[in-house]
Structure 1
Amino acid sequence: MSDQPPPRPLTETELSARLRGLAADVAAPATGAQARGRAQRRRRGRRVMLSTTALVSAALTAVTSGALGSATEAAAPPAASVSHTPIPAPSPAPVQRVTIDLDAHTLTMEGRRFTISGLQDNCPIGETTVTVTAKYPTLTMPPNKFSKLSKYVDIRQWAVTFTDRSHHQRLLMNALDPSAGLNSMGHDSGPGAIALSPRDGKWVYDAIKPGARVEIKGRQAANADPDSVCYERQPITGDH
């Protein structure tokens, strides 16, 4: 216990005097310095409150968006880049390959070789590589200067045609009419197209396909007579 004596109680007069002093301090108006100090304290309090509110909002945004991840969380690997470089398409293979050798008087296709009637020197085909356009079981040839002098109609069997560089459909091959003399096989006698024997011509007609690529090898004359002479070179329209 403390050895000091308890404080003396205030008398009624002393208590009244202290209460009057306190009342006087509260009622007294504040000086200019005191007012400025109070305003500064209020502003500092507002700034502290605004800073605290901003920090709390930023923390909530980071948590919601996932910006704050675990320290041990692995970073997601970057997405693999996709190449958009176009891959060149391979050139389409020809439907068939056929070779006509004008020097050897042969036609080769599907592993078989046939003897042909070649071209006259004055009536070359004029192309070294052609594409088969169409096939006709029978084809009536356009009039020529020889048929004008007679009633003879020139009809070819198993005819195969191509389109030349002038965009004209022309005769490429046909089966030789037996009445025209099969002794021309293996020799040059055609006025602008090649011919095969009837049996070989039928086989080639059945086996060859539109779109076949035909390579024409061997000699071809540099100059040609007009179509009135090389009538197999005339454009074909319809069944003529």
Structure 2
Amino acid sequence: MSDQPPPHPLTAADLSSRLRGLAEHGETAAPATGAQVRGRAARRRRGRRAVLSTGALAAAAVTTVAAVTTGALGSSHKPAAPQASPSPAPVQRVTVDLDAHTLTVEGHRFTIGAPVSFCPIGETTVTVTAKYPVVNLRPSEQHVGRAGPRKWAVTFTDRGHRQRLLLFAMETSDLPALGKDGILGAVALAPADGKRVYDIIRPGARVEFTGRQAARTTASDAACIDRQPVTGGH
């Protein structure tokens, strides 16, 4: 038998303390093996690849957002192209030559009966207001001129804000005035020509008068039957 006393048994706390000390001493003192070095390098490479993959995914997300916003890269969400406003239709031009007794519109020329000097149109340029298949004129106070219907009537608005006859188609009784100054305050065309001009001319057309024309009426409006105000078809 040994004379030495038996060793004092270790408690759980003493054992845990000694194990931690051995672990710490091993990490600082023991050199890393080749396997440990290779393992650490592999872990660092995996970490770098993970960082690069995350960055690539973020860049792809930004590119996708940009494509959706701008319509790039063939995205189906392309912005709508700005639509150009439609150009306004050109203003139709009509010329009435009071000396030559002609009316020209859309390249067509027609012979007219022009106003008599004492019942002129009173304007050098007018705008077509409306068109009526028929308007009816009242008898004048002086019983001058032909009362009743004016077919294929085209009207304008004068300086006094009255709608008045501009053009109409003659009746057979008016034909002697064709090519002359014989209409009491408007312009008249042969029956067939009146219908053609009525069909061609558009509201808003600009009508210019050239040649001789008195600046104002020397007779009363009551005598110039074709200067009566027109209201609708009346």
Which TM-score band (shorter chain)? 0.5 to 0.7
CA distance in 2 between counterparts of 1:237 and 1:153 reads: 16
Report the equivalent of 1:144: 140
Query: What is the rounded CA distance, in whole Å, between the counterparts of 2:144 and 2:190 in structure 1?
Result: 27
Q: Could you tell me which residue of structure 1 aligns to residue 62 of structure 2?
A: none
Residue 63 of structure 1 is matched in structure 2 by: none
Counterpart check, 1:160 vs 2:169: no
TM value normalised by structure 2: 0.59
User: 2: distance between equivalents of 1:165 and 1:222?
Assistant: 13
Residue 158 of structure 1 aligns to a residue whose secondary structure is strand
Match for 1:129: what amino acid?
T
Bigger Cα Rg: 1
Distance 1:148 1:121, change over 3 A: closer
CA distance in 2 between counterparts of 1:200 and 1:187 reads 16
Point out where structure 1 has 5 or more consecutive residues left out of the alignment.
1-90
In the superposition, the TM-score normalised over structure 1's length comes to: 0.57
Using the TM superposition, give the Cα deviation of residue 143 of structure 1 relative to its aligned residue in structure 2, in angstroms: 3.0
Please, which of 193, 196, 209 is the counterpart of residue 202 of structure 2? 209
Q: Name the CA distance, whole Å, in 1 between partners of 2:94 and 2:139.
A: 29
Where does structure 1 differ by over 3 angstroms across 4 or more consecutive aligned residues? Answer: 91-94, 146-149
Say whether residues 1:132 and 2:125 are aligned partners.
no
What is the deviation of 1:147? 4.6
Question: Aligned residue for 2:102?
Answer: 106
Structure 2 gap segments, 5+ residues each? 1-86
Counterpart in the other structure of 1:20: none
SS in 1 for 2:193: helix
1:171 correspondence with 2:165? yes
State the percentage of identical aligned residues: 61
RMSD: 2.3
Mapped partners of 1:206, 1:223: distance in 2: 30
Per-residue CA deviation, residues 143-185 of structure 1 (Å, 9 max, x unaligned), is 3125599xx74211000000112111000010000133x2321
- The amino acid across from 1:108 in the alignment is T
Equivalent position amino acid for 1:230 in 2: C
Question: Would you say how many aligned residue pairs link Structure 1 and Structure 2?
Answer: 148
What's the counterpart of residue 238 of structure 1?
A: 232
Contact persistence 2:221–2:228 (CA under 8 A): yes
Query: Structure 2 CA distance, aligned partners of 1:215 and 1:146?
Result: 31
Distance 1:96 1:203, change over 3 A: same
| Matched letter for residue 207 of structure 1 | I
Question: Is this contact kept in 2: 1:163–1:170, CA < 8 A?
Answer: yes
